[in-house]
Structure 1
Amino acid sequence: MNISKRSSNIKTSPVRKLIPYQEQAIKAGKKVYHFNIGQPDLPTPPEFFEFIANSEERTLKYAHSKGNLGLRQAMSKFYKENFNLDYTDEEILITAGGSEALLFVLTAIFDAGDEILISEPYYANYNSFFEMLQIKVNAFSAKAEDGFHLPPKEEILAKLTPNTKAILLTNPGNPTGTVYTEEELKIIGDIAKENNIYVISDEVYRLLSYDNRIATSMGSFPEYEENTVIIESISKTYSACGARIGAVVSKNKTFMKEVYKLCQSRLSVSSLDMIGAEGLYNTLKKDYFDQNRAIYEKRRDVIYSGLLNIDGVKVVKPEGAFYVMVTLPVDDSEKFAIWLLEHFDYEGETVMLTPAQGFYKTPDAGKKQVRISYCIEEDKIKKALTILEKGLKEYNNL
């Protein structure tokens, strides 16, 4: 039976590529510390479940393709109160997670063969959508020694072609943890406006930025509002990855009309999840976000200081999200990550890492790097770092 090239060209997610090795390690009796995946471990707020339990829904009908009005109004209020962003409920479309939001945004902008401009390293799962929609990727490099901040404007422009239809940013960054400055965002906004292209701003980690700063939204600049599209999600903000509630947010009416067609084509997202999400947006205020941010910031400090103390390891202090890009003293980070699961343990325990090659468009880039997620408790971070240090020593003595 035939399989489409469109499907077969999609590569396995590098975040999940090592799962078979992890499963074998667990079968062998090893305890595995998960440095590999950005699954928040903080409890989903009880308000999510309470709003669902107290709803008057008795028949789960199709919801509005735009998303429940109450949820869109709650998000509009949330944007105003927390970020001073003025988006009406008509400028918000609810999607099945940030992933569907991005898929719909890309589908509305790109034809096969069009090009997207992106800073590498970037979130590897974007590639699945690029392959699916036959979008060509042009990447400009952000360097570790610069904290993975954007290169000069001329380096970005050098990657721009007549076929470029949009620039995609993740702010705060996955996998880097970088938080872009207002000046950097204005550079991107100026490029987009001058060349009549879109800026797709993936802001799902916006409330997880550290050192007494809040990540600036691309929506903060009225001069770029026709160019700007924001990807939103409750997954990271509220520790609700399984709820699958995201959104497309934009003031560009023509663009939003096209995305709405795609929303209609899949009818609606989960009614119960939208009810729960509305409860989160309506009830949880600044104290909740401050508390969660403090927990992740403390973990960030623990993992950063611990990595600095391991011989040969190079690391840049992340500014947001819950990821850190690390350069290891190894020949090949994927080979090392597999070895940790297959052949190494310390007192019956090992560590699962995400090799960084999959976060780059440039061949062989990131070959000695890994992305580490610190979505685990501080004591587990410390244990995992001890295992990583001992693993590096043994691996390099082979």
Structure 2
Amino acid sequence: MQFSRFGEKFNQYSGITQLMDDLNDGLRTPGAIMLGGGNPAPIPAMLDYFRQASEAMLANGELVAALTNYDGPQGNDRFVSALAKLLKQTYGWDISEKNISLTNGSQSGFFSLFNLFAGQQPDGSHKKVLLPLAPEYIGYGDAGIDEDIFVSYRPEIEILENGLFKYYVDFEQLTVDDSIAAICASRPTNPTGNVLTDEEIRKLDKLARQHNIPLILDNAYGLPFPNIIFEDVEPFWNENTILCMSLSKLGLPGVRCGIVIASEAITAAMTNMNGIISLAPSGVGPTYAAHMIEQGDLLTLSSNVIKPFYKHKAQRAVELLQQAITDTRFRIHKPEGAIFLWLWFDELPITTMELYQRLKARGVLIVPGEYFFIGQEDEWEHAHQCLRMNYVQNDDMMQKGIAVIAEEVAKAYQQA
């Protein structure tokens, strides 16, 4: 049997596949400590809300209708219209239902977007997506039909007090030329919890407009929902911006609903791709989200339940880590959003890939940092000294996992 070039490429075992395999295996392995994958926390108030919403929608027939009918390839009309109205009223954006398309999860949305712009062009040239700051989301790495569709730059690193640090875009080294098809950044950033400042976003927008390319913002954790963002920043969108959102971190990862907010031309392209690839996006998640908007609950729950829950969890995780690991070479990226902490073990004598294997053998699942430095031309020691830790587990499990991390890191430093 012979696979095509497409088949050969996507038959590779990638970082995101490993992450999801670990997540799946860990959820089914008694005693496993899940500090790796991106599954959101089971927030009791949100679980109760979804149960009540399910009962109400089952009683009025909405849930059964969502399960038994196709939506159009753009996505559920009711949700798309409700979301456009919400964003226009909340932020004053010049937006309508013609600016929104849905996908079967944001991962498939980014696959479509990246291949819409990057790779081999009609004139035979090859273009790439610029990631202005690496580390970036692991799921981007293998999303190109063509090889080598990303280029990224090392960040500036600011050392902060209390064992923290922060990344910034290094605009002095950032280069945008005719080889760049789009600029893409996550905000808050997965894996680091970094939030690009308003000034950084404005500069990236200016660069994108100057070169007539789109600015893609991955807003899976951001404003206005699920609002897992702890910095005082402004939401951003205009006709040249592609804002990507998700229902996953509201607590609904199983419904697989991604949201793309863009120009009418890009919405039309995404709609056509949906029709060809999957007929239509799922209507189940949008039905829940439309219900939440119509009840006035979506933004309230995001601000009053989801955000404070994760902010408290992040602060507690930092506290536990700093109590357990007192080596001065250990630093944590300032937690500004998302559901992860980014840990930096400077001068670590083993790679975090090796550390990942040692921890996995002890039942603790994290994600090694190497996977997140996508599109880097040169090796960087820092890339082998970092790991991503999910902080959504309960206190007891988190303390046990952190204790194991502390032991293995101490062993590695001692064995050097």
Normalising by the smaller structure, the TM-score range is 0.7 to 0.9
Q: CA deviation at 1:51?
A: 5.3
Matched residue type, 2:130: L
Matched, 1:210 2:222: no
Matched residue type, 1:116: V
Gaps of 5+ in 1: 220-224, 345-349
Aligned partners of 1:301, 1:204: CA distance in 2, in Å? 21
Quick check: 2:369–2:388 contact (8 Å CA) kept in 1?
A: yes
Quick check: 1:114–1:135 contact (8 Å CA) kept in 2?
A: no
Paired position in structure 1 for 2:130? 117
Aligned partners of 1:70, 1:23: CA distance in 2, in Å? 33
Give the alignment's TM-score, normalised by structure 2: 0.82
Q: CA deviation at 1:98?
A: 1.1
Matched, 1:178 2:194: yes
Matched, 1:255 2:274: no
CA offsets 1:171-201 (integer angstroms, 9 cap, x no match): 1100111111111001001100111111011
Q: Which residue, 264, 283, 294 being the options, matches 1:271?
A: 283
Aligned partners of 1:208, 1:135: CA distance in 2, in Å? 32
Paired position in structure 2 for 1:55? 61
Quick check: 2:245–2:258 contact (8 Å CA) kept in 1?
A: yes
Quick check: 1:357–1:364 contact (8 Å CA) kept in 2?
A: no
Give the alignment's TM-score, normalised by structure 1: 0.86
Q: CA deviation at 1:282?
A: 2.7
Aligned partners of 1:299, 1:3: CA distance in 2, in Å? 46
Aligned partners of 2:171, 2:150: CA distance in 1, in Å? 18
| Cα RMSD after superposing both structures | 2.7
Matches for 1:1-398 after TM superposition, within 5 Å: 1-10=1-10, 11-17=12-18, 31-42=31-42, 43-44=46-47, 45-46=49-50, 48-50=53-55, 52-53=57-58, 54-56=60-62, 57=64, 60-80=68-88, 82-112=90-120, 113-118=126-131, 119-130=133-144, 132-134=145-147, 136-145=149-158, 147-157=165-175, 160-206=176-222, 207-210=227-230, 213=232, 215-219=233-237, 225-236=238-249, 238-250=250-262, 252-265=263-276, 266-283=278-295, 284-289=297-302, 290-309=304-323, 310=325, 311=327, 312-328=329-345, 329-342=348-361, 344=362, 350-361=363-374, 362=376, 364-365=379-380, 366-397=383-414
The answer to which of 383-392 and 332-341 deviates more is 383-392
The answer to which of 225-234 and 102-111 deviates more is 102-111
Aligned partners of 1:229, 1:23: CA distance in 2, in Å? 31
Shift of the 382–115 alpha-carbon distance from structure 1 to 2, 3 Å rule, reads same
Aligned partners of 1:258, 1:390: CA distance in 2, in Å? 51
Shift of the 334–232 alpha-carbon distance from structure 1 to 2, 3 Å rule, reads same
Matched residue type, 2:354: K
CA offsets 1:128-149 (integer angstroms, 9 cap, x no match): 212x244521111124436554
Secondary structure class of the residue paired with 1:372? strand
Quick check: 2:252–2:285 contact (8 Å CA) kept in 1?
A: no
Matched residue type, 1:178: N
Q: CA deviation at 1:150?
A: 3.3
Matched residue type, 1:258: A
Matched residue type, 1:353: I
Aligned partners of 1:139, 1:242: CA distance in 2, in Å? 31
What is the number of equivalent residue pairs in this alignment? 379
Deviation >4 Å, runs of 4+ = 18-27, 56-59, 81-84, 395-398
Quick check: 2:247–2:285 contact (8 Å CA) kept in 1?
A: no
The answer to which of 112-121 and 299-308 deviates more is 299-308
Aligned partners of 1:30, 1:299: CA distance in 2, in Å? 23
Shift of the 299–6 alpha-carbon distance from structure 1 to 2, 3 Å rule, reads same
Gaps of 5+ in 2: 121-125, 160-164
Aligned partners of 2:291, 2:259: CA distance in 1, in Å? 16
Q: CA deviation at 1:378?
A: 2.9
Aligned partners of 2:288, 2:27: CA distance in 1, in Å? 34
Q: CA deviation at 1:84?
A: 4.5
Structure 1 vs Structure 2: percent identity of aligned residues? 19
